[in-house]
């Protein structure tokens, strides 16, 4: 009877230690996940070789996508834009093996009605820096044949339990 009690006490002590260690490590992993800090879009003006000022994308609350925020003249000489640069900023801890999924949906100005979907999955390479502040990683996506129809954008981090999808829209329309 006396040899049995020390073994049971040892097993109980070991299980208690494991119970306290496991939630702490998972709590830390969930407390500091990578997150999308921002998603910004800038129109590229072909006639000037410059980008639009400010953020062309705004939060997507669903249709209708009018009135347009940008009136584009892709066939005109001045202020014409047929491409957009989208930059997604991710913040988080270093040494993570996360990926970012980016999706854009729009009808190119060269087509009448067929929507295209641009989907890219890229690694998120967050460097380790000294200090307690999370580091940042920026990912750029170039979209072509834009400028006459709304462009719906979405981005999310793959590989972690709790992740929010960021949705934006560029409200385009065009004419001469």
Q: Which two tokens stand for residue 144?
A: 């072509």
Whether residues 59 and 76 share a domain: the answer is yes
pLDDT, residue 76, reads: 67
pLDDT per position in the chain (176 positions), as tens? 455 566 665 555 555 554 554 444 344 444 447 889 999 999 898 888 999 888 888 888 777 677 777 777 666 667 778 899 999 999 887 666 788 999 999 998 777 778 999 999 998 877 666 565 668 889 999 999 888 889 999 999 988 777 778 999 998 887 76
Tell me how many domains the chain contains: 2
Q: CB-based contacts of 42: which residues, under 8 Å, 6+ apart?
A: 51, 52, 55, 56, 84, 85, 87
Predicted pLDDT at 133: 65
**Helix, strand, or coil here: 167?**
strand
Same domain, 52 and 116: yes
> Which ranges of the chain would DSSP assign to H, the alpha helix?
4-31
Q: Are residues 52 and 103 in the same domain?
A: yes
The confidence score (pLDDT) of residue 152 equals 94
Instruction: Count CB neighbours of 46 within 10 A.
Output: 14
Torsion 15-20-23-26 (CA) sign = negative
CA triplet 146, 143, 124: central angle to 5 degrees?
150
pTM across the whole model: 0.74
Are 101 and 63 part of one and the same domain?
yes
Looking at the fold, whether 16 and 81 belong to one and the same domain comes out as no
Indicate whether 76 and 4 sit together in one domain.
no
Residue 97: closest CA among 170, 24, 34: 34
pLDDT for 9 equals 59
- Claim to verify: residue 88 and residue 16 sit in the same structural domain: no
Do 59 and 20 lie in a common domain? no
Q: What backbone phi and psi angles, to 5 degrees, belong to 168?
A: -135, 165
Q: Which residues contact 127 (CB under 8 A, 6 or more apart)?
A: 94, 135, 137
What range defines the domain where residue 23 resides?
1-31
Question: Do 38 and 119 reside in the same domain of the chain?
Answer: yes
């Amino acid at each position: 009877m006396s040899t049995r009690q020390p073994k049971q006490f040892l097993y109980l002590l070991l299980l208690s230690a494991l119970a306290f260690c496991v939630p702490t490590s998972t709590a830390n992993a969930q407390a500091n996940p990578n997150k999308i800090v921002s998603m910004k879009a800038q129109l590229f003006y072909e006639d000037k070789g410059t980008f639009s000022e400010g953020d062309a994308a705004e939060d997507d609350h669903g249709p209708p996508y009018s009135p347009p925020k940008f009136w584009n003249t892709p066939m005109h000489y001045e202020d014409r834009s047929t491409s957009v640069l989208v930059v997604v900023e991710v913040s988080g801890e270093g040494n993570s093996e996360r990926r970012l999924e980016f999706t854009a949906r729009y009808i190119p100005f060269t087509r009448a009605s067929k929507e295209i979907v641009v989907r890219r999955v890229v690694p998120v390479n967050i460097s380790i820096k000294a200090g307690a502040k999370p580091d940042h990683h920026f990912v750029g996506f170039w979209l072509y044949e834009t400028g006459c129809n709304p462009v719906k954008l979405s981005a999310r981090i793959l590989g972690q339990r709790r992740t929010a999808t960021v949705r934006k829209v560029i409200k385009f329309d065009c004419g001469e």
